[in-house]
Amino acid sequence: MKLYFSPGACSLAGHIALHEAGLEFDRVKVDLKTHRTEDGGDFAKVNPNGYVPALEFDDGSVLTENIAILSWIADQAPALAPTGPMGRYRLLEMLAYISTEIHKAFKPFFKPGATDAEKAQAGEQIGKRLQFLADILKDDYLLGGMSVADAYLFVMLTWAGKNGLPLPAGLEAYAARMRARPAVRLALEHEGLGATAS
């Protein structure tokens, strides 16, 4: 199995989750500007949409989209998902919230030419969405025990830090808790981000 990733991008969530799950995988770095893999391959052949993450299985089939990849990883390692009859849906609910309400809201921060006003508006929206999560934080993690949704939220918090967005009370300690996890440290190290990546 191969994870196609770009350092510090949303693919870091799957990278962390794969380590948390204890799964064996290879990493393939993708240059998101040229859409070439580090060995010169054409990433469009892996994901015609051109974005990471992509998970290629040993039979050559490819799974894309953070929600699908993180759900698949949770199915391999059930400890990374909440339990009970509603557990699967609570996880999907959280992954969809992070993907559509937070991840997508960062767009102006990555779009060349975005205005300061667009970034300020996005920052305000992201702050509100993060506040909602800070308010519902259960014990140490989003859904009780650490789940694949926490891996995704952690990446969003690193983006907030890089773009100077303040974290709501509670999420600073949460980010530090995540960063202390061996799987998180390993993924950051593998992506060349080290323990100091914000």
Ligand X SMILES: N[C@@H](CCC(=O)N[C@@H](CS)C(=O)NCC(=O)O)C(=O)O
Long-range pairs for 127-130: beta carbons < 8 A, 24 or more residues apart? 127/165, 127/166, 127/168, 129/97, 129/101, 129/102, 129/105, 130/102, 130/156, 130/157, 130/160, 130/167, 130/168, 130/171
Which residues, listed in sequence order, are joined to residue 188 by a DSSP beta bridge? none
Comparing CB distances to ligand X, the nearer of 71 and 99 is 99
Cα distances (angstroms) measured from residue 178 to each of 46, 63, 64, 156, 187: 30, 26, 24, 12, 12
Q: Using CB under 6 A, which of 25, 27, 32, 36 touches ligand X?
A: 32
| CB-based contact 82:138 (threshold 8 Å) | no
CB of 4 to ligand X, least distance (A): 9
Taking the least distance from each CB to ligand X, the nearer of 144 and 190 is 190
By CB under 6 A, what part of segment 37-96 binds ligand X?
A: 50-52, 65-66
Do residues 191 and 12 lie in contact, with contact meaning Cβ atoms separated by under 8 Å? yes
- Select 12 or 175, whichever has its Cβ closest to ligand X: 12
Q: How many residues bind to ligand X according to rule CB under 6 A? A: 9
Token pair 């580090």 in the structure block, residue = 38
Closest CB 44 distance from ligand X, rounded Å: 10
Q: Given candidates 10, 94, 133, 156, which one binds ligand X under the rule CB under 6 A? A: 10
Report if residue 122 touches ligand X, rule: CB under 6 A.
no
Q: Is 118 in the site for ligand X (CB under 6 A)?
A: no
**Cβ neighbours of 39 (radius 10 Å):** 7
Residue number of the CB closest to ligand X reads 51
Least gap, CB of 102 to ligand X (angstroms): 11
Q: Does 153 bind ligand X (CB under 6 A)?
A: no
The verdict on 192 binding ligand X (CB under 6 A) reads no
Does position 159 bind ligand X by CB under 6 A? Answer: no
Does residue 137 belong to the site contacting ligand X (CB under 6 A)? no
Beta bridge partners of 30: 37
Query: Can you give the binding site for ligand X, defined by CB under 6 A?
Result: 9-10, 32, 50-52, 65-66, 99
